[in-house]
Structure 1
Amino acid sequence: MSFLNGAVVLVTGANGGIGTHFVHRALERGAAKVYATARKPRAWDDPRIVPLPLDVTDPESIAAVVPAASDVTVLINNAGATPPTASLLEVTEEDLRANLEINFFGPVLLARAFAPILAANPRPHLVDVHSIASWYAFGGAYSASKAAVWSATNSLRLELAPRGVHVTGVHMGYVETPMAAHAAGPKLQPAELVAQVYDAVDAGAYEVIGDQLTAQVKAALSGPVEGLYPELRQLDAVEN
């Protein structure tokens, strides 16, 4: 029997490619209800799906969604965004702060807001969707925000474990969604990633490594920094 059998799930960013799969696959695995949240929630064709407005960057919006979803047992922090540029030197301060609001403050504040509800309900679980960018700094502000929320997830895991809340972090490379339409190379299908996440929830795993590239980057973290960023060796060779 799936861990999700009878669960009440809340998905942020539910209108997106990955979010939509989180919603539908939860029901396929036996969830009793799914709150599908978005800034502008859309209509769904299933009475078990409850659309709720939620702007993860707005404290008042977060405060409003908590009493509306007071039976949540699984919180999936899926909402995310990329800034207009991958350069920390070129991104505007406004866009830099906005990206941190969505990718870092949003999931952390939602976890804080729902922590008492999760702890009070049966079989509680928190899922934070990170990225390979948590470990690989190709994305400027995006990578910084994902690294920050990865660290926060580890801290939340330690704080929530004594309250009975299990926390799973999700790392992956590019996924076949509009957000990654610009990227070349292999991409995970959203359904494949979501299946991995829910399998991890069923297994009580702490972490999802979505693809081989992510596994390689994680392994490289234990080596010298120039091993992860070979361009540094090339620059050193030119300078010398």
Structure 2
Amino acid sequence: MPQVDLSHVEFWIFDLDNTLYPAQCRLFDQVERRIGLYIEQLLDLDREAARALQKQYFREHTTTLKGLMVNHGVDPGHFLDFVHRIDVSGVAADTALDRALDALPGKKLIYTNGSVAHAQNVMEKVGITRHFPEIFDIAAGNYDPKPSAASFDRLIETFGIAPERAAFLDDMPRNLKPAADLGMTTVLISTHSEWAQPAGDEDYIHHTTDKLADWLAALNTTKKTGS
């Protein structure tokens, strides 16, 4: 794996879902099904109609939650509690990621369109909770989801982040653009998800990996050797 020098980075900002655990765990499939069920029950729709509305709001508002808040006055706390009641038993402890994060200097935090409770639930399974005392979730962002520039501004203000000394890692290409525009170094965690594929012209993606633990370990080796 090619070595990358990011010795200037002081702030490591990680997305949660499909970034700090493998997309193959398919946790987000469960979340998506719960979102569909929520819409079915809320609006008395059949599964197909609920699914169509779910995708429409995702396209138009970046998250289905935002669309439900705007169009139906949904209580976001109630929604998040419902959709994150999922089975995380398929997530395994990742000792390699734990070691890589331990060796990574600088402040580490999570920036997620999910909830703090969901992040804590998942991190406990992965075995990396100790590395992330700070979680900036959808509520902290005033329910303004990534890739909203306003949400990034709130993140920066909350933690006193210097963008030019920050790295942002996410599995969604569109979430990386505002980070790059601010001067952050961006890392795409590539997956096989159809909706998370680059269109081919994303010059705002500075680095790409499909094995986060290995990539961070190589980065830590570069820092130690000074190469």
Q: Please say whether Structure 1 and Structure 2 have the same fold, judged by a TM-score greater than 0.5.
A: no
**Larger relative contact order (CA 8 Å, sep ≥ 6):** 2
Normalising by the residue count of structure 2, what TM-score does the alignment of the two structures yield? 0.43
Normalising by the residue count of structure 1, what TM-score does the alignment of the two structures yield? 0.41
